[in-house]
Amino acid sequence: MNFKPLGERLLLERVEEATTTASGIIIPDNAKEKPSQGKVVAISKEIEDVQVGDIIVFGKYSGSELSVDGNDYLILDIKDALGVIS
């Protein structure tokens, strides 16, 4: 895939949540919420605080979804990024 975000945007790949609880209860797919974390796949040249490979925390309803070659991604404005997990 060759995608370059424009403006102050990031391209993220969502980080999946666990499918079971700590006590071993299996969470069905329809009960899961979309994760609010993603791995940075690409960044625009205007962004300096984030690097490809960082894990970003973002708001639950932030970004625009994009599907390329069967993979799902999220295009996120840098202002919607809440922080970087290190």
In a domain, 40, yes or no: yes
Domain residue limits at 64: 9-15+31-85
In a domain, 3, yes or no: no
Residue 68 or residue 19, greater confidence: 68
pTM: 0.77
In a domain, 4, yes or no: no
How many C-beta atoms lie closer than 10 Å to residue 55's C-beta? 14
User: Based on the structure, what is the number of domains in the chain?
Assistant: 1
Read off the CATH number of the domain in which 48 is found.
Answer: 2.30.33.40
In a domain, 38, yes or no: yes
The pLDDT of residue 44 is 94
Residue 29 has pLDDT above 70, yes or no: no
In a domain, 24, yes or no: no
Please spell the DSSP secondary structure of 49-63, one letter per residue. Answer: S--TT-EEEE-TT-S
For strands 55-58 and 9-14, give the pairing: unpaired
In a domain, 81, yes or no: yes
Amino acid of residue 42: A
Residue 25 has pLDDT above 90, yes or no: no
In a domain, 23, yes or no: no
Q: How far apart are CA 74 and CA 61, in angstroms?
A: 11
